[in-house]
């Protein structure tokens, strides 16, 4: 099987978006609630997707009679996207509000980040995945992915955007950690009791002015990580890249299984392609020159095409590839511990798509 990937060169991006969406011939229908899923940028990062791009997608969906909403889920780590309230404030600072988007801006996993459990067929790592409730309930999905690299999963494109961005905190933790339990630094604990009050399983208690953790009772919900303001609770970032990739494939499988066929469109934006993902607080120089917009109904094919274009595009002056003098498979040079081809092969073997594609220029 060979999938079609639509491609436009960098100029006139906004003009090309309606043609990409229409060309996919997705089975989205009038009155469908369509999630426009993107990463709205961590505080301090300036290379996230431009609001005008998202507005163009939402406007096209509305002209077709659909009901779009712009969305993402809260982060696992503790910064400025860790809770619904923090994320909405960050999104507004970055230009994403209901007024600027012309449609609702919603946080998909809600206040408590408790997803709807979906069983994974033939799991690689995760047998059950909590899918963010607004994603689960949506009729269709437009995944808007800012293509970047990532410490464990590359390319960080459509598959990562769906797997890690459309699931709850528990699923995120199980993807990233071999031991899906939080780690505690009692020296930083102030004994405020916030984590104790919000723990749903009774795994936390106050003892001698410090939080006492019972891992046997922990359900890996990660609420304590999001709520601790003192850095006393952390994620065990202990999984190998191969395990993270397997978990990401399972996460994507669970999320996409909640949609009927041809109800999901995957758009990868090859602009400001950085060495780290948009969760990074800084904004490093890009690794390659912009290569434009890629769109497909196949998330594996569009990610494969993105990886190939990263390897083939001109190196960005002064960026990481230029410093390394990298040639050939640049992704393997700059991220030697990540088997990016193996990640895409895993996704293909899990029936998420194919690595074989043809480019159709728009």
| CATH number, domain containing residue 230 | 3.30.70.20
Name which of 266, 37, 57, 78 is nearest 166 in CA terms: 37
pLDDT for 324 equals 64
Q: Are residues 278 and 196 in the same domain?
A: no
CA angle 19, 20, 26 (to 5 degrees): 110
At 288, phi and psi to the nearest 5?
A: -140, 165
CATH number reported for the structural domain that contains residue 157 in this entry? 3.40.50
Q: Are residues 140 and 191 in the same domain?
A: no
Residue 233 neighbours by CB under 8 Å, 6+ apart: 78, 182, 183, 184, 185, 195, 211, 224, 225
Q: Are residues 187 and 172 in the same domain?
A: no
Cis peptide before 108 (omega within 30 of 0): no
DSSP letters, 241-276, are HHHHHHHHHHHHHHHHTTS-TT-EEEEEEESS-BSS
Q: For the chain, first and last CA: distance in Å?
A: 22
Fill in the DSSP letter of residue 40. -
211: containing domain: 183-234
Q: Are residues 105 and 51 in the same domain?
A: yes
Q: Are residues 171 and 29 in the same domain?
A: yes
Q: Are residues 194 and 257 in the same domain?
A: no
pLDDT for 325 equals 59
Q: Helical H runs in the chain?
A: 13-23, 51-63, 84-93, 98-101, 133-137, 158-163, 169-176, 194-198, 223-227, 241-256, 299-312, 320-324, 330-334, 340-349
Distance, in Å, from the CA atom of 42 to the CA atom of 75, rounded to the nearest integer, reads: 9
Burial 281-297 (b: 16+ CB within 10 A, else e): eebebbbbbbbbbbbbb
CA angle 271, 276, 281 (to 5 degrees): 100
Give the start-end residues of each E strand in 73-192: 105-107, 116-119, 128-131, 140-146, 183-184
pLDDT for 118 equals 98
100, 59 Cβ separation under 8 angstroms: no
Q: Are residues 128 and 215 in the same domain?
A: no
Q: Are residues 17 and 69 in the same domain?
A: yes
Phi-psi region of 325 (alpha: psi -120 to 50; beta: other; left: phi over 0): left
> Domains in the chain: how many in total?
2
Q: Are residues 269 and 311 in the same domain?
A: yes
Residue written as tokens 């590839």?
321
Q: Are residues 204 and 144 in the same domain?
A: no
Q: Are residues 56 and 73 in the same domain?
A: yes
Q: Are residues 300 and 251 in the same domain?
A: yes
pLDDT (tens, 9 = 90+) of the chain, 362 residues, equals: 999 999 999 999 999 999 999 999 999 999 999 999 999 999 999 999 999 999 999 999 999 999 999 999 999 887 899 999 999 999 999 999 999 999 999 999 999 898 999 999 999 999 999 999 999 999 999 999 999 998 889 999 999 999 999 999 999 989 987 666 788 888 899 999 989 998 888 889 998 888 988 888 887 777 787 778 888 887 776 667 889 999 999 999 999 999 999 999 999 999 999 998 898 877 788 999 999 999 999 999 999 999 999 999 999 988 888 766 556 799 998 888 899 999 999 999 999 999 999 999 99
Distance, in Å, from the CA atom of 341 to the CA atom of 358, rounded to the nearest integer, reads: 18
DSSP letters, 283-315, are -PPBSB---EEEEES-HHHHHHHHHHHHHHSPB
């Amino acid at each position: 099987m060979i999938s079609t990937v639509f491609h436009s060169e960098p100029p006139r991006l906004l003009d090309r978006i309606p043609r990409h969406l229409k060309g996919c011939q997705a089975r989205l229908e009038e009155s469908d609630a369509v999630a426009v899923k993107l990463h709205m940028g961590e505080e301090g990062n300036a290379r996230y997707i431009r609001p005008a791009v998202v507005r163009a997608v939402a406007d096209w969906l509305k002209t077709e009679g659909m009901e779009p909403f712009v969305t993402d889920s809260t982060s696992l780590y503790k910064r400025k996207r860790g809770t619904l309230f923090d994320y909405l404030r960050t999104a507004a600072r970055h230009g994403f509000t209901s007024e600027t988007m012309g449609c609702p801006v919603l946080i998909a996993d809600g206040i408590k980040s408790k997803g709807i459990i979906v069983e994974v067929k033939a799991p690689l790592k995760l047998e059950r995945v909590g899918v963010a409730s607004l994603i689960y309930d949506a009729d269709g999905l437009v995944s808007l992915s800012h293509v970047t690299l990532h410490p464990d999963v590359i390319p960080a494109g459509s598959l990562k955007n769906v797997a890690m961005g459309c699931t709850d905190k528990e699923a995120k933790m199980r993807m990233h950690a071999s031991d899906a339990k939080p780690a505690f630094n009692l020296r930083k604990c102030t004994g405020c009791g916030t984590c104790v009050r919000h723990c749903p399983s009774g795994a936390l208690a106050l003892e001698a002015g410090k939080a006492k953790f019972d891992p046997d009772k922990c359900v890996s919900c990660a609420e304590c990580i999001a709520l601790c303001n003192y850095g006393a609770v952390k994620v065990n970032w202990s999984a190998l890249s191969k395990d993270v990739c397997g978990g990401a494939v399972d996460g994507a499988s669970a999320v996409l299984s909640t949609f009927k066929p041809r109800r999901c469109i995957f758009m990868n934006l090859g602009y400001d392609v950085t060495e780290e993902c948009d969760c990074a607080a800084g904004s490093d120089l890009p690794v390659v020159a912009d290569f434009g917009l890629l769109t497909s109904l196949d998330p594996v094919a569009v990610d494969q095409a993105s990886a190939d274009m990263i390897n083939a595009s001109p190196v960005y002056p002064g960026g990481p590839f230029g410093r390394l003098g990298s040639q050939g498979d640049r992704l393997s040079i700059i991220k030697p511990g990540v088997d990016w081809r193996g990640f895409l092969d895993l996704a293909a073997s899990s029936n998420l798509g194919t690595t074989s594609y043809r480019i159709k220029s728009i």
